[in-house]
Structure 1
Amino acid sequence: MMVRNWVIGLIGTFAVFAPAQQQDLFKPLPPMRWTPRHYECLRTNQKFHIDGKLDEKDWQKAPWTDSFLDIEGSDKPAPIYRTRMKMLWDDEYLYIGAEMEEPDVKATLTKHDSVIFHDNDFEAFLKPRATESGYFEFEINALNTGWDLYLNKPYREGGKADNSWDSTGLKTAVTVQGTLNNSADRDHGWTVEIALPWKGFDSRQPVSAPKPGAMWRANFSRVEWIAGHPREENWVWSPQGVINMHVPDRWGYLEFRDSKD
């Protein structure tokens, strides 16, 4: 899960995981050398069938983000596979669609709340309330296995991960453009579709459907394990300058807007 959860609360107990690379969870932050990215999330009146295809009319009109970059910034090598995403919202849900280019789509984890970043994955980090220190995280792999957790504040500030949070009413789907777990052929990639209900946050923070003009801090990432590489790759929507996703002040801005129709 890119770069970060060494210490993760699992059902009230902390366990220590050892990814391939020591993450910079507690190191001093280098200067921020670029402007965080910004995305206008448009309102939709369409009802979606969550199937991982992103083929409804309003999905087709929603703008894609720029391609993801290395978590440390554009001065690092560019990702070898493209990742991009788009978002919409209505009175019930925040919708997230992501597209991952991948020549050999693989996944192994099937149990909800597994440590999903041990597979290749897609991840969302959402901070709905600027006045609160807490934020939400969701990860998903190509088998449509999810991991949702809440952090009361960043690890560097003494935060703890709450793995008991589950987003009530969450809907997710994945489609694979190719064949899953078959290295004998070449795949195109995989697509994720997420419908995250506003009420799903309520057990940790009250979050209502936003008003047009509302702004959240948010970031989105992809962990990619490449054969022969000494560590996982961490590709993100808005680079942070440090191998640590848990720095909300360095995330991008998600702005909610009315439909442009």
Structure 2
Amino acid sequence: AWVDAPIFESFRHPLTGLETRASGRLRMLYDDEALYLGVEIDDLDLHSEYDERDDPLWEADVFEFFLRPMRGKSDYFEIQTSPRGVIFDSHFERYRHPSPYGNVDFDSALELSVKAMGTFADEKLDTGYRIEARLPFQPIKDRLPAFRTPEPGADVFVNFFIVDRGKDYRSAAAASPPFVPDYHHQAAFARLTFLD
């Protein structure tokens, strides 16, 4: 199915909008029940010590996905996955509220397959990791009853981030750079239009 999906690979530095060490490729598809993501992340030094759901994955290598599903509503969702396949998912009712990490009791029911191409926390050169994820719409509807399953022409607002934290470096990249040190900056969320 991914063969026909458009590829997004213009990830840029979150603060400058310039090319950065962190890089990857993203594909998306959808049907009546879910949004599907296929992500390939380049990473020469895999680091992720976290193994519990809703751990602070952003402190290590991670792929982050922000979704504001409704125009005119401030609610948004943050979903992260590590190269180990650990998930962080949260619902924010408005900008960074509730503080500090949102409603972490939110369960996105994310179905996830992650393949790490390398080993963790050693000197061996790694390649990166691959993510295939299915995000069902129902848990979003459960939080936002007015949300409707997207149809062709419908819009949602999104942003995606790659955090690459090696032993001796830290890099990050954004699909839509916020140009401020805040991944929750909703003004930077890009409009995603569903096609037929």
Structure 1 length as normaliser, TM-score?
Answer: 0.69
Q: How does 1:229-244 map to 2 (within 5 A)?
A: 229=169, 232-244=170-182
Equivalent position of 1:61 in the other structure:
4
Distance 1:222 1:81, change over 3 A: closer
Moved over 4 A (4+): none
Counterpart selection for 1:248 from 173, 186, 190? 186
Distance 1:139 1:244 in 2: 15
3-state SS, counterpart of residue 133 of structure 1: coil
1:212 aligns with 2:152: yes
1:199·1:208 contact (CA, 8 Å) conserved in 2? Answer: no
Distance 1:81 1:220 in 2: 12
Distance 1:233 1:103, change over 3 A: closer
Name stretches of at least 5 consecutive residues in structure 1 with no aligned partner: 1-57
2:22·2:164 contact (CA, 8 Å) conserved in 1? Answer: no
2:11·2:24 contact (CA, 8 Å) conserved in 1? Answer: yes
Counterpart selection for 1:223 from 163, 168, 172? 163
Equivalent position of 1:89 in the other structure:
30
Equivalent position of 1:121 in the other structure:
62
Name stretches of at least 5 consecutive residues in structure 2 with no aligned partner: none
- Give deviations 1:179-212, integer Å, cap 9, x for gaps: 2216343222111111000102133213332110
User: May I ask how many residue pairs the two structures share in their alignment?
Assistant: 193
Matched AA of 1:110 = D
What is the percentage of aligned positions where both structures have the same residue?
A: 27
3-state SS, counterpart of residue 7 of structure 2: coil
Q: What is the aligned-residue RMSD (CA, Å)?
A: 1.7
Counterpart selection for 2:15 from 54, 68, 72? 72
1:198 aligns with 2:137: yes
Q: How does 1:1-261 map to 2 (within 5 A)?
A: 58-74=1-17, 76=18, 78-155=19-96, 160=99, 161-168=102-109, 170-177=110-117, 179-181=118-120, 183-206=122-145, 207-229=147-169, 232-258=170-196
Distance 1:245 1:182 in 2: 26
1:175·1:191 contact (CA, 8 Å) conserved in 2? Answer: yes
3-state SS, counterpart of residue 228 of structure 1: coil
Structure 2 length as normaliser, TM-score?
Answer: 0.91
